[in-house]
Amino acid sequence: MRLIEVTRLGLVDYTDSVRLQNAFVEARKQDQVPDQLFLLSHPHVVTFGRNAKKENLTATPALLERLGIEVHDTGRGGDVTYHGPGQIVGYPILNLAPDRCDVHRYVRDLEEVIIRVAVDYGITANRLAGFTGVWVRNEKLAAIGVRISRWVTMHGFALNVNTDLEYFNLIIPCGIKDKGVTSLQKLLHRSVDIAEAESRLIHHFSEVFARPAQELSLEHESVQVVIYDDTQPTPQYLLLRRTPQRGNFWQPVTGRIKRKYSETPLEAALREVAEETGLEGEVQDLNYVHSFLLEPTLMNKKPPRPQINREYSFAMKTKKSPVRLSEKEHCEYAWLSFDEAFCRLIWPGNKHAFELVRRLVNHQ
């Protein structure tokens, strides 16, 4: 019997989620992986489906920037929607062939999964004639937008659990003007445990699609440390440039967590700073943990399947001074202003960590 591998990813930047999905879609088409279900959340983001009308985003660019909300076009069906904290996003990567090659059935099955989850919480949720998604009376509890290529699926559903529904006021959700949005929290008048809701989704997904679910843990974990000196007239941030063999891009201090030695993220952060820079300072947890696809071209050997990494983020306050580089990994370093450093970063997770440190510096 075909199984579904399930991975709880936690927070994933929207751009990273597209890269991850694309990699697993190709791997699924080539039978390098079984069917997948990724459960995660996104930072604040507004996404447009293929048929979306831009006027359904009612917020101004200035307001979106002030609120830290990104905007992305996507390849899914549907109109405009919002993703953010407190929401469970599900991305199934399924091969519907040979027995489920029916797009409408697939969407109805996704709706059925969420309807059953709602029942677990004592909520009567339904389909609404003429509209996709799951509804409680005239309010949408979960949005669905999918893309299918050679019968392999991507994108999926977004279930509002503890979502701040005020953010939906920035858009006309799904382009529907006369209906609202709701969440489990609003309906139950209490906060709902995200992990519990994910477990219910996994259970009912396995039931509806008649495939056993096998939960996976991530094999790769790392840290990033943003090193800064705020005693200068203009605060300075340290960037390291990877060697050409390792990508030739700029980044903060990064490194793998040595789990076989039971190393904690904080211990890994301190060790990596010492090994890569020789600097010492005050380390602070940024409380930012995110997951992303490991770029296969940057790995020592080509893995048999796409690899996912979970990264823990820290800041270290120190005095600007010469850096002792680890020559196997880095070929250059630079102390830069925030704007100069930020422009050199290429990965979303690095950029978000730098934004968090800038806020930290501005409030000290």
Q: What is the 3-state secondary structure (H, E, C) of the chain?
A: CCCEEEEEEEECCHHHHHHHHHHHHHHHHCCCCCEEEEEEECCCEEEECCCCCHHHECCCHHHHHHHCCEEEECCCCCCEEEECCCEEEEEEECECCCCCCCHHHHHHHHHHHHHHHHHHCCCCCEEECCEEEEEECCEEEEEEEEEEECCEEEEEEEEECCCCHHHHHHECHHHCCCCEECCHHHHHCCCCCHHHHHHHHHHHHHHHCCCCEEEECCCEEEEEEEEEECCCCCCEEEEEEECHHHCCCEECEEEECCHHHCCCHHHHHHHHHHHHHCCCCEEEEEEEEEEEECCHHHCCCCCCCCCEEEEEEEEEECCCCCCCCCCCCEEEEEEECHHHHHHHECCHHHHHHHHHHHHHHHCC
Q: What is the rounded CA–CA span in Å between residue 316 and residue 270?
A: 9
Contacts of 178 (CB under 8 A, 6+ apart): none
Whole-number Cα distances in Å, 347 to 37, 149, 213: 24, 27, 32
Of the candidates 215, 244, 217, 239, the residue with the CA atom closest to the CA atom of residue 229: 239
- Say whether 174 is catalytic: yes
Q: What is the rounded CA–CA span in Å between residue 161 and residue 184?
A: 5
Catalogue the active-site residues.
Answer: 174
